[in-house]
Amino acid sequence: MHYSAIKRKIVKRIDKLCCQPIEVFVFHAVSDSFDPALNKQVDWSSSTEFKQRILSFKQQYTFISLDEAYHCLHRDLTRQKKLAVLTCDDGFASILSILPFLEHEQVPITLFINPKYLDGTSIRTGYATAPKYITQNQLFALKSNLTSIGMHGYEHLDATKQTPEEFAESVDKCINILSSHPRYIPFFAYTWGNHNDTTDRILAEKNIVPVLCDGGATRRYYNGISRKPIDTQYLQSELVNSLIR
């Protein structure tokens, strides 16, 4: 075994003993009621359930921003405090209704955006009708220090099914549109968490941090930040699967 691989295994074992993992949570759509024309059950939460979940998390964790978590994962030799990060994918307009609550609770959030849908007219496949997305004007009006803006691909496409050139172009389009936002951060959340060595290499060349959706927690930064969904239906399906197992 190569020396660097041995060293990494030793460091990971030490981390498990000395470092509390940083939990990074992801959700998608939040609204008072479910609309099958605009939402999918698997990535939707009711406003009431979402607020209850965040208040419950606040009793267990100290919420920090994704950027802060990234630096903690690099520099912390030990970590006894339980830290958590909140992220939201896709940029559905419904998130605007929950931001005042998060501001009141002083919970930072990172919104991962697909810039193509900021025009308010482009249609994403897989929905009965076009979901309502945050518009570019609404996005650039978000200037709270508790809100940061990251990338989710120009369109909501599987990065592993794009050619390297297509993926690189998608990333460049994201940068061109989003980097002028005062709260932009160079983090890229893979759609459905799908990635490979090629996509990781392209992000590394552009100095962009990859963010996954693999259900894990992160103790130390290596080549990506793990996340776990907290959408209502996802949690229910995980509970069912755990009972079956």
194-223 pLDDT, tens digit each: 999 999 999 999 999 999 999 999 999 989
Query: Residue 241: what pLDDT?
Result: 45
For residue 124, pLDDT beyond 80: no
pLDDT digits (tens, 9 = 90+) for 134-165: 999 999 999 999 999 999 999 999 999 999 99
Q: 90 by DSSP, 3-state: which?
A: coil
List 87's β-bridge partners, or say none: 26, 110
Question: Against a cut of 0.95, is the pTM above it?
Answer: no
* pLDDT tens-digit map of 86-105: 999 999 999 999 999 999 99
The ranges assigned to domains in the chain are 20-223
Give the mean pLDDT of 66-78: 94
DSSP summary character for residue 131: P
From the list 189, 193, 238, 229, the residue with the least C-alpha distance to 209 is 189
What local confidence, expressed as pLDDT, does residue 128 receive? 60
Asked whether the beta carbons of 156 and 138 are under 8 A apart, the reply is no
Instruction: Supply the DSSP string of 134-185, one letter for each residue.
Output: --HHHHHT---TTEEEEE--SSS--GGGS-HHHHHHHHHHHHHHHTTSTTEE
More confident residue, 33 or 110: 110
Q: For 189, phi and psi rounded to 5 degrees?
A: -90, 120
Q: Does the pLDDT at position 245 exceed 50?
A: no
Pick from 125, 243, 112, 131: which is nearest to 190 by CA? 112
- CATH architecture of the domain formed by 20-223: Alpha-Beta Barrel (3.20)
- By the 8 A CB rule, do 56 and 38 touch? no
Confidence class for position 1, pLDDT limits 50, 70, 90: low
Task: Quote the DSSP letter at residue 195.
Answer: -
Cβ atoms of 73 and 221 closer than 8 Å = yes
62, burial (CB in 10 Å: exposed 0-12, middle 13-18, buried 19+)? exposed
pLDDT value at 22 more than 70: yes
Assess whether pLDDT exceeds 90 at residue 34. Answer: no
- Report pLDDT for 112: 98
Distances (CA, A) of 12 to 15, 204, 209: 5, 22, 20
pLDDT surpassing 50 at residue 193: yes
Report the percent of the chain where pLDDT is more than 70: 84
pLDDT value of residue 113: 98
Query: Which of the four pLDDT bands, split at 50, 70 and 90, describes residue 244?
Result: very low
Helices 197-205, 164-178: axis angle to 10 degrees equals 40
Please answer whether residues 243 and 220 qualify as being in contact, where contact means their C-beta atoms are separated by less than 8 angstroms.
no
Instruction: Report how far residue 229's alpha carbon sits from residue 199's, in angstroms, rounded to the nearest whole number.
Output: 22
